[in-house]
Amino acid sequence: HTSSHSGQGRPRAVAGGGGHIARKRFGQNFLVDQGVIAEIVRAIAPKPGEALVEIGPGLGALTDPVVERCEKLTVVELDRDLAARLRLRPELDVIESDVLKVDFAQLARERGVKLRMIGNLPYNISSPILFHLLPCADVVVDQHFMLQKEVVDRMVATPGHKDYSRLSVMLQWRYDMECVVDVPPGSFDPPPKVNSAVVRMTPLAEVPDVDPKVLEAMVAVAFSQRRKILRHTLGAWITQQGITTDFDLQRRAEEVPVAEYLALAAQVRKPA
Ligand code: SAM
């Protein structure tokens, strides 16, 4: 559907956006609070010569202060009108595309350097973006992303915490993560309905040899009924895999540390 505004009444141009009207279907909430923008750029700390890649530059709230510091910047923008504006700027390398179709491993190979990913992500596809980038972790220096606060809480949650979930295990497997800036709705135009936060994700140097498909299937089963003892859920899966293990099934999914899930997944032979 093409409804292009989130508020009531007549579509209204974004503050300082040269007449641009926010497209809801592209998850467009533009950062306008200069204090928050400065705080995020400080957290990113871009340096000359680094290969930064911004997902969803939009009207350039982060793009401008970042490219000022690192000289060249690659941006990935799906909105045709916004991409056309960005192309007028010689210091930007504009990829007009759906970020989920961009091969970042290839981009890193072409550049011959590791990438620093940044972006105030479109919230409607934030999880798919995180999973799209997961296999590229070895060509990435770090990622600074603005997401829904609730998603960031799940990403960084540890065992025993109510937010500890599939997302925690699937991402903590490959990244060290920390929440670096909290951002209220009023920092955006139009304001989103939820709180936001910037998370820093740093790929871990040592990663256990685990088939991500196996891990994903296993964690989905474990967390399918997070309040139940794992014997009832994961127990059946372990039997199906034909593995013997001393994994303690008298616990609930939310009590098991990431390392133990990884050790269990590593015991399952990869399909030929
Ligand atoms: N960076 C800007 C800011 O902070 O003001 C805009 C952030 S806005 C939350 C998300 C941006 O991602 C928009 O510019 C939107 O057009 C773009 N976008 C949405 N879906 C996309 C996709 N699939 N691929 C690339 N960019 C996308």
Q: Which of 24, 26, 146 best tests ligand 1's pocket when mutated (most atoms within 8 Å of CB)?
A: 26
Whether residue 33 is annotated as binding a ligand: the answer is: no
Mean pLDDT for 139-143 is 98
CA 120 / ligand 1 centre spacing (Å): 7
Please, where are the H alpha helices in the chain?
34-44, 63-70, 80-86, 104-111, 126-133, 149-156, 166-172, 212-223, 234-241, 258-266
Structure tokens at 72: 């060249």
Whether residue 107 is annotated as binding a ligand: the answer is: no
Q: Which of 99, 121, 188, 195 best tests ligand 1's pocket when mutated (most atoms within 8 Å of CB)?
A: 99
Whether residue 120 is annotated as binding a ligand: the answer is: yes
Ligand 1 pocket at CB < 6 A: 26-31, 55-59, 61-62, 76-79, 82, 98-100, 120, 122, 125
Q: With 60 as the cut, is the pLDDT of residue 271 above it?
A: no
Protein residue with its CA nearest to atom 19 in ligand 1: 26
Query: Which residues, 6 or more positions from 240, have their beta carbon under 8 angstroms from its beta carbon?
Result: none
Protein residue with its CA nearest to atom 5 in ligand 1: 30
| ipTM value > 0.95 | yes
Give 96-137 pLDDT, tens digit per residue: 999 999 999 999 999 999 999 999 999 999 999 999 999 999
Whether residue 29 is annotated as binding a ligand: the answer is: yes
Structure tokens at 73: 């910047």
Whether residue 138 is annotated as binding a ligand: the answer is: no
Give 26-41 pLDDT, tens digit per residue: 999 999 999 999 999 9
CA 240 / ligand 1 centre spacing (Å): 42
Give yes or no for a contact between 107 and 115, defined as CB atoms under 8 angstroms apart: yes
What's the confidence (pLDDT) of residue 1?
A: 43
**Would you list the DSSP string of 146-159?**
EEEHHHHHHHH--T
Residues of the chain above pLDDT 90, percent: 86
Average pLDDT, the chain: 93
Give yes or no for a contact between 154 and 165, defined as CB atoms under 8 angstroms apart: yes
Q: Which of 23, 53, 77 best tests ligand 1's pocket when mutated (most atoms within 8 Å of CB)?
A: 77
